[in-house]
Amino acid sequence: MKIALAQQNYHIGNFEDNTRKIIEGINWAKEQKADLVVFSELCVCGYPPRDFLEFNDFINKCYESIDIIKQHADSIGVLVGSPSRNPQKEGKDLFNAVFLLHEKEIKSEIHKTLLPNYDVFDEYRYFEPAYDWKVMEFKGNKLAVTICEDIWNMGDNLLYRITPMEKLMPFKPDVMINLSASPYNYAQDIVRNSIVKAHTVKYKLPMLYCNTIGSQTEIVFDGGSLVYDINGNKVKEMKYFQEDYQVFELETLSKKSGPSKPPSLPGDAGVYFYSAMDVGQDVNTLDYLADKKNIEEIYHAIVLGIRDYFRKMGFSKAILGSSGGIDSAVTQALAVEALGKENVRAILMPSQYSSSHSVSDAELLSKNLGNPYDIIPIKNIYESFLTMLKPVFKDLPFGIAEENIQSRTRGNLLMALANKFGYILLNTSNKSELATGYGTLYGDMAGGLGVLGDLYKTQIYALAKFMNENKKIIPGDIITKAPSAELKPNQKDSDSLPEYDILDRILYQYIELRQGPAEIIAKGYDAGLVARTLKLVNTNEYKRNQFCPIIRVSCKAFGIGRRLPIVGKYLS
């Protein structure tokens, strides 16, 4: 039997486009003489649909799409993911389901058992877990079909009480097939490969794993669909950050040979799989995150994140403030790659505190990239604010209020231009700044999309160097000069924050690895610095709560995947 995998990019709630895309995948598989074609989790409606699932009309449209798709499942079997209604009154109204379509009919339906309810996932909010298990029979083969999280209950610290494959093995399946919507993070390729390999070794069956690609607001899906044979050998790793289609012979995947290379670490039944946390603990943290492989992946993830956000929102043009600093420079270069140079407008807004080289560096960057730019000095606007506020401010000394007026002036100008010309404002704040509250609400924190909000400052320097490898795009002075907000004379970030190479390591331990102060201090960090840093993180939750969506590239990004109380007292 020939099985095709269709790794596609869907649009949440765009039933017409998703249905068209799925039918195109079916037709491609027919041309390849495939017997069965596999799509990804909830492909009919797009993942994650979130509270759209609470609308009966939304579910009706899912079923209407399946009715259209099944007309093309005549001579070929089709596995598609969609919500399905729960006929029982007990439990939630929906299942996260896979339908087997063949001969223009729904031949079988299975339901997801393990419903993730952590980080960016909230499936138990909407779906009822499966309460029975069965294989899907197709052309003389028994298919053990699972959905994404269903294969992740493996290792030494199980998150769930039920492991779906254990329920399916008594039916003596011939192959494992997993329909997935697994988001990208820096460790996910290692994690996915280890979990799929672990299954083939443990259950002695081949596995075909079909993942989606594309960005849905802040979540990037990177593809990388996998096929492992019965011996635990990787047969194919499909493209990352691109749509891809491949066909495989089940008979070939099922041929037994010598054992595959044994796992490098012990674990469940002699099989170990890496989690994102394992990878973070296994390596020298930020040194690993900033290495070339991960930076190249992050580059492609962010470019895809920007491109899909604009395309799926119906926008084409971006605007950003170009300061001559590293963050705005990297954001600008990424936007040009994603949207085209003619669609990215940079605005230089120098004040009396801006250095001359900041302006010239920003101009040189736009010339290198070929994108349009404008210079709008803010000195007069800023001084008019001070004049109007003088009777109220009286003779109080210059401070944070005066600094923030400059930032909010720039935010106002950028939003005015965005409104006037139909741009989306790209925010340039990084994770180090957002973590510590080093930013101005309604000023440099304004924007429709946070491009670098899940990257620490040290990673942004690594990203800039990566982007300069083949062609010098970002001027060298931008990379080498000390970072500064330039809101007062001779200001540097290090006046307010620890040096980034130390700060970022502490933040990583706390945010990604969820280490407490004692654990971080035990790694050799100064106790006072750790206490100060963690206090900054926790007392600035109110700022992050008002921030725009951030393109997620780590295993723990600010936003929907990190939910903390604003008024909490812990470590503050």
- Distance between CA atoms of 361 and 364, rounded to whole angstroms? 5
Q: Using 50, 70 and 90 to split pLDDT, how confident is the model at 211?
A: very high
| Whole-number pLDDT of residue 525 | 96
Please, what is the end-to-end C-alpha distance for the chain in angstroms?
A: 60
Q: Which of 43, 45, 62, 148 is catalytic?
A: 148
- Break the chain into its structural domains and give their ranges: 2-274, 286-544
Residue with tokens 């895809």: 304
DSSP result, 452-488: STTS-HHHHHHHHHHHTSSS--S-HHHHHSPP---SS
Q: What percent of the chain has pLDDT over 70?
A: 95
pLDDT digits (tens, 9 = 90+) for 493-514: 778 888 999 999 999 999 999 9
13 Cβ contact partners less than 8 Å away, ≥ 6 residues apart: 45, 46, 49, 52, 58
Q: What single-letter DSSP state applies at residue 556? A: S
pLDDT digits (tens, 9 = 90+) for 413-431: 999 999 999 999 999 999 9
| Beta-bridge partner residues of 79 | 38, 100
pLDDT digits (tens, 9 = 90+) for 25-66: 999 999 999 999 999 999 999 999 999 999 999 999 999 999
Q: Using 50, 70 and 90 to split pLDDT, how confident is the model at 484?
A: confident
Asked whether the beta carbons of 74 and 105 are under 8 A apart, the reply is: no
pLDDT digits (tens, 9 = 90+) for 148-190: 999 999 887 899 999 999 999 999 999 999 999 999 998 889 9
- Average pLDDT of the chain is 93
| Whole-number pLDDT of residue 12 | 98
Angle between helices 400-421 and 379-393 (to 10 degrees): 130
Alpha carbon 233 to chain centroid distance? 28
CATH 3.60.110.10 fits 2-274, yes or no: yes
| Of 272 and 456, more confident | 456
| Helix, strand, or coil (residue 414) | helix
Asked whether the beta carbons of 49 and 32 are under 8 A apart, the reply is: no
Asked whether the beta carbons of 424 and 319 are under 8 A apart, the reply is: yes
Q: Is the pLDDT of residue 285 over 80?
A: no
Let me know if 112 is a catalytic residue: yes
Q: Which of 41, 128, 149, 337 is catalytic?
A: 41
Let me know if 41 is a catalytic residue: yes
Residue with tokens 């800023």: 382
Q: How far lies 292's CA from each of 58, 376, 462, in Å?
A: 43, 37, 8
Q: Is the pLDDT of residue 491 over 90?
A: no
**Structure tokens given for 301:** 């993830």
| Whole-number pLDDT of residue 282 | 45
pLDDT digits (tens, 9 = 90+) for 112-158: 999 999 999 999 999 999 999 999 999 999 999 999 999 999 887 89
Average pLDDT rounded to a whole number, residues 387-395: 95
Average pLDDT rounded to a whole number, residues 220-234: 97
- Distance between CA atoms of 95 and 182, rounded to whole angstroms? 18
Q: Which of 21, 70, 112, 543 is catalytic?
A: 112
Let me know if 62 is a catalytic residue: no
| Whole-number pLDDT of residue 278 | 53
| Beta-bridge partner residues of 7 | 244
C-alpha angle 361-362-363 in degrees, rounded to nearest 5: 90
Q: Is the pLDDT of residue 410 over 70?
A: yes
Alpha-carbon dihedral 454, 456, 457, 458, rounded to 10 degrees: -130
Query: Can you name the CATH fold of 286-544?
Result: Rossmann fold (3.40.50)
**Structure tokens given for 339:** 């949207």
| Whole-number pLDDT of residue 284 | 52
pLDDT digits (tens, 9 = 90+) for 231-278: 999 999 999 999 999 999 999 999 998 655 544 433 333 344 445 555
pLDDT digits (tens, 9 = 90+) for 94-114: 999 999 999 999 999 999 999
DSSP result, 355-373: -HHHHHHHHHHHHHHT--E
